[in-house]
Structure 1
Amino acid sequence: MSAFKYLMHFAYIGKPFRGSQRQILGGFPRPDDPLTVQGRLEMALKKLNPCNEPIVYLSSRTDSGVHAINTTCTVNLYRSNGMVYFPRSITICLNSYFKKQDVPIRILKTYLVPDTFNCRHKAISRTYMYRLTVGKANSINCAPNYQFIPIEEWDRSLFYCTDTFDLDKMREGANLFEGYHDFRSFMGNHKNEPDKVTRRIIEYVKIQQVDRYGYSTYSWPKIIETPFDDYLFIDVYMKSPGFLYRQVRRIVAALVALAQGKVTIRDLKLMLEIPSRHSWCPQIKTLPAHGLYLCEVEYSKEDLDTFRTDPESGI
């Protein structure tokens, strides 16, 4: 009986899940875990009728409510006839299952990979995005008691209604986080890892003002004559070989507080220069999960050359 390893690129909307990592543990066969992304993937893979218990290994873990545009996982599958599954067939079968079950997960592409390939340890970088929608508080369309946001953005970006938002100051602060730093001040409390090494390299922090004109004409009530003049749409991208627990959400929270004038550049520098959870400015509140997206898990060209979509070509 032969075993083959498959790498899957996939996307999901995080709202229905308690996180990406399986939470129901133990037992054989493993009990179903429909409220996590890993659990749902394993339930879908059983539809292929493999001879083994399909165990999914995630390249990256995300919290409850966080989305993924393109992330990866691997799984070993056995067949009694010793043949491989066509990668395209795995993609089609799993997506059919997710559609029928109304589960917001989609397989983007499946590959055959060497048995030694580890999707987590082989990743050379991860890129995250946080989406913000900032409305002018002095606008009739965005008064504190009349906060309007297109329904397309509900649970897809974080909405702010504010009189003060300095995008240039936000970009200035973003430069502080690039490079090699100890990010302990920006790590969320994690009781299971008190001695964790918190030094990381961030390749870049990019803040992009974007135009979101893809909404239906019915998304904006007729009383709103110039809706986009009252809103600032911002995507914050961050790339690193690896991130700490809630690091992205806390860094973006610090940059938002800077743009609103709640903290200064000096405050951010102190949090970097004195890495400690006690250095965290109380004016900064960690951002919620629903604006965060895992955009890409990157592998080296050497590893990419080993991926196969044609099982007859071998590995």
Structure 2
Amino acid sequence: MSLNRYLLNIAYIGKPFRGAQLQVKRESCQPDPLTVQGRLEMALKVLNPCNEPIVVLSSRTDSGVHAINSTCHVDLYRRNGVNYEPKSVTFCLNKYFSAHDVPIRILKTYIVPETFHCRYNAISRTYLYRLIISKDNDTCSRSNNHFNYIPIEEWERSLFLCTDKFDMALMKETAKLFEGYHDYRSFMGKVLDRQKMTRRAIEYIKIINKEKTGYSHYSWPTLIDGPNPQNYVYLDIYMKSAGFLYKQVRRTVASLVAVAQGKVTIRDIKFMLEIPSRHSWCPQIKTLPAHGLYLCEVEYAREDLDTFRSTAEI
């Protein structure tokens, strides 16, 4: 038998899953179909390996969070001693997901050294939070009628806000406070045993106004009583770090939104950063929902990439 470790670049829509990682103790050989990990393990059985495939994820995304490009690795034994071709792994898994209507796709497959670990070898992770903000004061005053006109492809893919006040300049100014090395204990959802160390270094927070970069409104219907697409601001908020605490990204973006709406001040944000504690969290800030969050990229060192290229799609 021949053992190989395979690295998979994966994308998925998080809505059908209760999280990326297995939620219960592995007491049986049956994968958990309600997690991304479980579905991957079910699909890998199509390859008929002689071992039980155990998937290791590079990031533990929460229930409802999406991934544009995440990674995982798995060890596979093949009876005849011949390696699985990476292209065949990609094709077979995607065929399985399509046949079973599972919103997971394999972007690429690599053979990597047995010493490689997709989580521990990762040097950074980049997340995206998508916001669509109504600037129409009249629409905002008419309860939630504007939600009737949300393009279907944006439903539960972005967070929609209807607000008559949103200070973009103040939001960007506040984002700068989070960059660098800080103790982000105040921005954790809850204390987890595996995250006793709460200091992290955020490389950057980028806020991109897609309205100013020619974002297409092709999907908005032409309705007599519908909202004008030009009255909406489309924001992509990117955050990069070696690692994040539980719910840190969603609570950080929630803080930026609260400042922009005038619900809290920059002084409040500074207090949470300077006095890190779960008791420092401002109750006026509500953690943003998961459906607007995407894991965009998991980055590896150059020497790892060179190894991947030498064995990819052989």
Which whole-Å CA distance do the structure 2 matches of 1:263 and 1:100 have between them?
Answer: 48
Alignment of 1:2-17 (within 5 A): 2-17=2-17
In structure 2, the partner of 1:213 is 216
Which whole-Å CA distance do the structure 1 matches of 2:11 and 2:217 have between them?
Answer: 21
In structure 2, the partner of 1:294 is 295
Letter in 1 for 2:312: T
In structure 2, the partner of 1:238 is 239
Is it true that 1:45 corresponds to 2:44 in the alignment?
yes
In structure 2, the partner of 1:58 is 57
Which whole-Å CA distance do the structure 1 matches of 2:84 and 2:161 have between them?
Answer: 48
In structure 2, the partner of 1:80 is 79
SS class of match (2:80):
coil
Which whole-Å CA distance do the structure 2 matches of 1:215 and 1:118 have between them?
Answer: 42
The answer on whether the counterparts of 2:125 and 2:242 sit within 8 Å (CA) in structure 1 is yes
Give the direction of change, closer, same or farther, for the CA distance of 1:154–1:144 in structure 2 (3 Å limit): same
Which whole-Å CA distance do the structure 1 matches of 2:144 and 2:237 have between them?
Answer: 27
The answer on whether the counterparts of 2:3 and 2:76 sit within 8 Å (CA) in structure 1 is yes
Quote how far apart the aligned CAs of 1:137 are: 4.8
Structure 2's unaligned 5+ residue stretches are none
The answer on whether the counterparts of 2:139 and 2:146 sit within 8 Å (CA) in structure 1 is no
Greater shift, 150-159 or 108-117, is seen at 150-159
Quote how far apart the aligned CAs of 1:142 are: 7.3
Which whole-Å CA distance do the structure 1 matches of 2:6 and 2:57 have between them?
Answer: 12
The answer on whether the counterparts of 1:17 and 1:65 sit within 8 Å (CA) in structure 2 is yes
Is it true that 1:261 corresponds to 2:262 in the alignment?
yes
Which whole-Å CA distance do the structure 2 matches of 1:271 and 1:282 have between them?
Answer: 12
Which whole-Å CA distance do the structure 2 matches of 1:48 and 1:250 have between them?
Answer: 40
Is it true that 1:202 corresponds to 2:202 in the alignment?
yes
Greater shift, 144-153 or 204-213, is seen at 144-153
In structure 1, the partner of 2:286 is 285
Which whole-Å CA distance do the structure 1 matches of 2:313 and 2:139 have between them?
Answer: 58
Structure 1's unaligned 5+ residue stretches are none
Quote how far apart the aligned CAs of 1:136 are: 2.4
Letter in 1 for 2:169: D
The answer on whether the counterparts of 1:142 and 1:230 sit within 8 Å (CA) in structure 2 is no
The answer on whether the counterparts of 1:144 and 1:161 sit within 8 Å (CA) in structure 2 is no
The answer on whether the counterparts of 1:150 and 1:220 sit within 8 Å (CA) in structure 2 is no
Quote how far apart the aligned CAs of 1:141 are: 7.8
In structure 2, the partner of 1:223 is 225
Give the direction of change, closer, same or farther, for the CA distance of 1:163–1:310 in structure 2 (3 Å limit): closer
Alignment of 1:156-171 (within 5 A): 156-171=157-172
Q: Which has the higher helix share?
A: 2
Is it true that 1:249 corresponds to 2:282 in the alignment?
no
Give the direction of change, closer, same or farther, for the CA distance of 1:37–1:142 in structure 2 (3 Å limit): farther
Give the direction of change, closer, same or farther, for the CA distance of 1:84–1:199 in structure 2 (3 Å limit): same
Is it true that 1:129 corresponds to 2:132 in the alignment?
no
Quote how far apart the aligned CAs of 1:144 are: 2.2
SS class of match (1:305):
helix
Letter in 2 for 1:223: D
Give the direction of change, closer, same or farther, for the CA distance of 1:214–1:40 in structure 2 (3 Å limit): farther
Deviations 1:186-230 (A, max 9, x none): 01113545x71100000000001003315335x342333x72221
The answer on whether the counterparts of 1:137 and 1:144 sit within 8 Å (CA) in structure 2 is no
Which whole-Å CA distance do the structure 1 matches of 2:22 and 2:305 have between them?
Answer: 27
Quote how far apart the aligned CAs of 1:59 are: 0.5
Q: Percent identity?
A: 66
Alignment of 1:300-315 (within 5 A): 300-307=301-308, 308-311=311-314
Letter in 2 for 1:132: L
The answer on whether the counterparts of 2:140 and 2:162 sit within 8 Å (CA) in structure 1 is no
Letter in 2 for 1:134: I
Deviations 1:225-244 (A, max 9, x none): x7222111101000000000
TM-score normalised over the length of structure 2? 0.94
Is it true that 1:26 corresponds to 2:29 in the alignment?
no
In structure 1, the partner of 2:113 is 114
Alignment of 1:89-108 (within 5 A): 89-108=88-107
Deviations 1:60-107 (A, max 9, x none): 010000000000000000011111000000000000000000000000
Q: How many residues align?
A: 307
TM-score normalised over the length of structure 1? 0.94
Give the direction of change, closer, same or farther, for the CA distance of 1:50–1:145 in structure 2 (3 Å limit): closer
Quote how far apart the aligned CAs of 1:139 are: 3.0
